[in-house]
């Protein structure tokens, strides 16, 4: 079987909107330093019981950008109940921006155990 590349059609952006530049080409402020990943892991596992299976830096969603978030850590956490949580933290200060997925309440550690 031979695979060939097909040409990709480019569609105009609706309403004269401009295309966003690729994430890698977006300039970061000179003073920006994301938290080390080990601190992100500690922060997430202090709040939720489970094991991080993936951590990546991603651009913020528009509402996060409106909160002056420049970069986001996206953490996928496998809980002890075998549920998958998708956790978003501000890469600068580690504040929790969003937690999505089933089993959040069961995985949440009591305040005294943190």
Where residue 77 sits, what CATH number does that domain have? Answer: 3.10.450
Residue 113 has pLDDT above 70, yes or no: no
pLDDT class of 111 with cuts at 50, 70, 90 = confident
Question: What CA–CA distance (Å, rounded) separates 76 from 6?
Answer: 34
Instruction: Indicate the number of domains in the chain.
Output: 1
Residue 3 has pLDDT above 50, yes or no: no
Instruction: Say if 41 falls within a structural domain.
Output: yes
Question: What CA–CA distance (Å, rounded) separates 53 from 101?
Answer: 14
For residue 12, give both structure tokens: 């105009």
Instruction: Say if 25 falls within a structural domain.
Output: no
Instruction: Say if 62 falls within a structural domain.
Output: yes
pTM (predicted TM-score) = 0.71
Q: How many residues does the chain have?
A: 114
For residue 33, give both structure tokens: 């330093």
Question: What CA–CA distance (Å, rounded) separates 68 from 71?
Answer: 9
């Amino acid at each position: 079987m031979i695979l060939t590349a097909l040409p990709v059609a480019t569609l105009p952006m609706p309403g004269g909107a401009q295309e966003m530049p690729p994430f890698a080409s977006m300039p970061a402020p000179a003073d920006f330093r994301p938290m080390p990943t080990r601190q992100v892991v500690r922060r997430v596992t202090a709040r939720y019981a489970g094991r991080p299976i993936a951590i990546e830096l991603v651009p913020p969603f528009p509402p996060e950008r409106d909160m002056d978030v420049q970069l986001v850590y996206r953490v996928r956490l496998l809980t002890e109940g075998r549920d998958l949580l998708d956790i978003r933290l501000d890469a600068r200060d580690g504040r929790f921006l969003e937690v999505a997925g089933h089993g959040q309440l069961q995985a949440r550690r009591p305040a005294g155990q943190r």
